[in-house]
Amino acid sequence: MNYRLFGNSGLRVSEICLGTMGFGTEWGWGADYDTSKKIFDEYAQAGGNFLDTANRYTDGTSEKYVGDFIKYDRDHFVVATKYTLYDKHDLNYCGNHRKNMFRSVNESLKRLQTEYIDLLWLHAWDFTTPVDEIMRGLDDLVRMGKVHYIGISDTPAWIVAQANTIAQLRGWTAFVGLQIEYSLIQRTAERDLLPMAKAFGMTVTPWGALGGGVLSGKYLKQEKGRLKESSPRLQNPRNAEIASVVVDISMQHNVKPIQIALAWILKKHDNIIPIVGASKPGQVTDSIRSLDIELSENDIARLDECSKTDLGFPHEFLNASTTQDVMFGTMQNLLKR
């Protein structure tokens, strides 16, 4: 793999991020210690240095495994973890507020067996904590050396924009990364989240890039996976149609469907680093090979069309030809932008 700068920072990360939510079997699925180590080694040997975990993943086991795996060369690896989700059923053991932020980070540092976290994500917006409290707290963690960079996940675009604007005005550390769900079956982030990230120079690390396995094509063949038959992803006929197009294009390229799904994301956006998970060795290599796939303009057009999402108001209204005509006096095609 090659490497990219992460957002508006000098941090160097690999083109594919390894998601470690499945490191541990506490949630009834995932990989045991030895299998997780093989997955990690496969990723590291391919040049991967960017690992994504969280305090809550497999009840803390994911962080413990990651800590064990990276300690032989800690400074080589870029470790991203998260805070927000509960560690126990107590209101001060969860949420975005300063008390939980510092408590969660200190516990993560112990599990990871490290003195610093490369990238700390706010995991999800709780709609109870003031923005300035969060940004000041995160800035304090950076100044203390416990955290190097910060990012935000699963949060409305207007809140992220507000937070980064406050940070910039007050000289605090700003978010350099955005983590969201994004895939061929979930493109609503194109309405506001992706344009906002681009405007602020943020790198986007999408989770669910394979649609929970829907885009692998296995459910079209009635194979079993993590998704239950009642899952909304499987009950949506449109998702099956998108998966069918992905499978068809993969057959033309003689590659696996997941590689087409990832190649589409990488081709569409230059500020995206997909998070890929694995439950057994070999899956990581399959994902990394998506970097070498050259999709044709026709491939991209087919994938775009079958997965097209209505951007809603005001985007559809502002992009309409009639609106453009009255805003630019029918001369919009002459304006270089």
- Give the pLDDT confidence of 245-264 residue by residue, as tens digits: 999 999 999 999 999 999 99
Say whether pLDDT at 307 is over 90. Answer: yes
Residues 320 and 299 in one domain: no
Domain range enclosing 144? 3-306
Residues 120 and 180 in one domain: yes
Q: How confident is the model at residue 330 (pLDDT cuts 50, 70, 90)?
A: very high
CATH number at residue 216: 3.20.20.100
* E-assigned strand segments in the chain: 3-5, 12-14, 17-19, 50-52, 78-83, 117-122, 147-153, 175-179, 203-204, 275-276
Burial of 336 (0-12, 13-18, 19+ CB in 10 A): exposed
**pLDDT confidence of residue 181:** 97
Structural domain count of the chain = 2
CA gap 65, 137 in Å, rounded:
27
**pLDDT confidence of residue 116:** 98
Quick one: average pLDDT of 302-323? 96
Give residue 229's identity as a one-letter amino acid code.
E
Radius of gyration (C-alpha) of the chain in whole angstroms: 21
Residues 337 and 210 in one domain: no
**pLDDT confidence of residue 218:** 86
Residues 99 and 122 in one domain: yes
Residues 176 and 298 in one domain: yes
Residues 325 and 294 in one domain: no
**Which residues does 139 contact at the CB level (< 8 Å), separation at least 6?**
167, 172, 173
**pLDDT confidence of residue 224:** 76
Q: How confident is the model at residue 220 (pLDDT cuts 50, 70, 90)?
A: confident
Residues 174 and 33 in one domain: yes
Residues 51 and 112 in one domain: yes
Q: How confident is the model at residue 11 (pLDDT cuts 50, 70, 90)?
A: very high
Say whether pLDDT at 223 is over 90. Answer: no
Residues 219 and 327 in one domain: no
Quick one: average pLDDT of 46-64? 98
Residues 96 and 128 in one domain: yes
Q: What is the pLDDT of residues 109-126, one digit of tens each?
A: 999 999 999 999 999 999
SS3 10: coil
**pLDDT confidence of residue 230:** 75
Say whether pLDDT at 229 is over 80. Answer: no
| Active-site residue (options: 43, 57, 182, 219) | 57
Residues 336 and 214 in one domain: no
Give which of 73, 70, 62, 64 is closest to 29, Cα–Cα.
Answer: 62
182 is catalytic: no
Quick one: average pLDDT of 59-71? 98
Residues 315 and 297 in one domain: no
Say whether pLDDT at 221 is over 90. Answer: no
In the block, residue with structure tokens 């993590």: 226
